[in-house]
């Protein structure tokens, strides 16, 4: 008996894949695998209902803790892609690993997904699966299916596909973010209404301040209350979402080169990323911060590609780990008008001394203000010299623009 493990959500794409895997690929049995990375309970109920109606062997794997851990790693890397926090991208390799485990445990011959040939997720799933010796199948991509065709096919086959927004928007939800695309949202000029949002309210005039505590770059508490990663993310999604924090409407460049319209909600991610970067600005030197931007950008790119286990990631995280040993402290965030704005920060590792920076103190420790005179003379020296030489070559009357040297006499 041949068996295939299918990434199964119970939605249109994966429901249609079940009979196609049997009819077109000849598999005797399809095993549905739903991986919990923080989706709404309604999605699990739909998956269970659909699996039962299809007489499908169905497994649910709880991977919320693993996913939350990866999300917190992304905070330490200040990870965003073209301005928005990585969510779906980070969830896919976690889901793929869980499905592969089930496939191998149940002696499956293949793994399958319902992704199209236009998106990023096919690449993220298969980067994990192709490390195994199992066959990889993508019915929607390989048969060139459209959503309209799938709806018609489901109707003809009397498949248990619910209505709702399945034919209008494509929605992906996990702990870290909620993405909405498709329908009118595919038009760059279309202004979406409030109906597309679920996690965030329309920004209003009220505000609230909270304090986030970090240890070694990891968020560990909110307002002094320690929380496990999943609970902390859930809490901040609820609190920050009330103030409209974490909405993104953008044109995104996918890995395959397509430019697409995307809408996202990510309140907790926005709050934590803003707070973390603020704390880093207090405890890291300028050189560390400048170099870490390069490291963070590379981490973000590999994360977007779903290659979280790439050798490069291990090397990048070695640097990140070293810097995060001092990213311990608290940040006060104000939620207001759709923003999560840092308004206070504190750490015992602060590279800061109020007496040095204050305009009310005369000197900086043993360094006097007069000691800066020499630095000021040298600052811009080459620029002034270059301007003088250029004027001389052009035949203009050059001025002596450097301290202690008159280049016009040469």
pLDDT at 291: 98
92 as an active site residue: the answer is yes
CA separation for the pair 200, 261 (Å, rounded): 19
179 marked among binding-site residues: yes
Instruction: Identify the H or E element spanning 135.
Output: strand 135-137
Number of helices (H), then strands (E), belonging to the chain: the values are: 14, 16
CB distance 7 to 113 below 8 Å: yes
15 labeled binding residue: yes
Q: How far apart are CA 96 and CA 118, in angstroms?
A: 19
In the residue annotation, 170 being an active-site residue is answered as yes
Read off the pLDDT of each residue in 90-111 and give the average, rounded to a whole number: 98
Q: Does 264 count as an annotated binding residue?
A: yes
CA distance 197 to 247: 9
Active-site choice (36, 73, 76, 121)? 121
Tokens encoding 130? 């192709």
Residue 165: pLDDT band (50, 70, 90) is: very low
* Lowest pLDDT segment from 43-57, 120-134, 292-306, 369-383: 369-383
- The catalytic residue among 74, 147, 170, 178 is 170
Given the residues 92, 147, 261, 326, select the one marked as catalytic: 92
Rg (CA), the chain: 27
Model pLDDT for residues 184-202, shown as the tens digit of each residue: 999 999 999 999 999 999 9
pTM assigned to the model: 0.90
Question: Would residue 101 show up in a list of annotated catalytic residues for this protein?
Answer: no
Neighbours of 316 (CB within 10 A): 21
Tell me whether residue 7 is annotated as binding: yes
| Phi/psi of residue 206, nearest 5 degrees | -80, 170
Task: Say whether 224 counts as a known binding-site residue.
Answer: no
The response to whether 234 counts as a known ligand-binding position is no
CA-to-CA distance for 332 and 342, rounded, in angstroms?
A: 6
């Amino acid at each position: 008996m041949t068996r295939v493990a299918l990434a199964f959500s119970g939605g249109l794409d994966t429901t249609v894949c079940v009979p196609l895997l049997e009819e077109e690929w000849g598999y005797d049995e399809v095993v549905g695998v739903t991986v919990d990375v923080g989706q709404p309970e309604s999605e699990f109920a739909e998956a269970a209902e659909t699996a039962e109606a299809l007489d499908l062997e169905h497994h649910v794997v709880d991977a919320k803790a693993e996913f939350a851990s990866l999300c917190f790693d992304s905070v330490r890397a200040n990870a965003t892609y073209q301005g928005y926090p990585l969510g779906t991208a980070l969830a896919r390799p976690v889901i793929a690993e869980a499905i592969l485990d089930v496939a191998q445990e149940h002696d499956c011959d293949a793994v399958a997904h319902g992704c199209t040939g236009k998106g990023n997720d096919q690449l993220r799933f298969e980067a994990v699966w192709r490390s195994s010796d199992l066959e990889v199948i993508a019915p929607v991509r390989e048969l060139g299916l459209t959503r309209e065709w799938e709806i018609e096919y489901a109707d003809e086959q009397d498949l248990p596909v619910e209505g709702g927004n399945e034919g209008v928007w494509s929605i992906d939800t996990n702990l870290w973010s909620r993405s909405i695309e498709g329908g009118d949202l595919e038009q760059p000029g279309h202004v979406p209404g409030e109906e597309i949002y679920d996690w965030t309210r329309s920004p209003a005039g009220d505000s609230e301040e909270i304090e986030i505590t970090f240890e070694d770059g990891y968020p560990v508490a909110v307002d002094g209350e320690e929380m496990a990663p999943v609970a902390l993310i859930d809490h901040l999604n609820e609190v920050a979402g009330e103030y409209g924090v974490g909405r993104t409407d953008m044109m995104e460049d996918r890995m395959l080169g397509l430019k697409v319209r995307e809408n996202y909600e990510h309140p907790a991610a926005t709050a934590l990323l803003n707070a973390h970067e603020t704390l880093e600005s207090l405890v890291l030197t300028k050189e560390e911060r400048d170099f870490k931007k390069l490291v963070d950008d590379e981490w973000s790119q590999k994360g977007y590609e779903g290659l979280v286990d790439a050798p490069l990631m291990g090397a990048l995280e070695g640097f990140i780990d070293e810097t995060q040993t001092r990213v311990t402290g608290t940040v006060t965030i104000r939620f207001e008008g759709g923003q999560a704005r840092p308004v206070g920060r504190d750490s015992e590792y602060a590279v800061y001394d109020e007496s040095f920076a204050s305009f009310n103190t005369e000197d900086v420790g043993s360094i006097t203000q007069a000691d800066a005179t020499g630095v000021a003379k040298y600052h811009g020296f080459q620029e002034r010299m270059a301007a003088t030489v250029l004027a001389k070559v052009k035949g203009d009357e050059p001025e002596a623009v450097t301290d202690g040297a008159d280049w016009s006499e040469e």
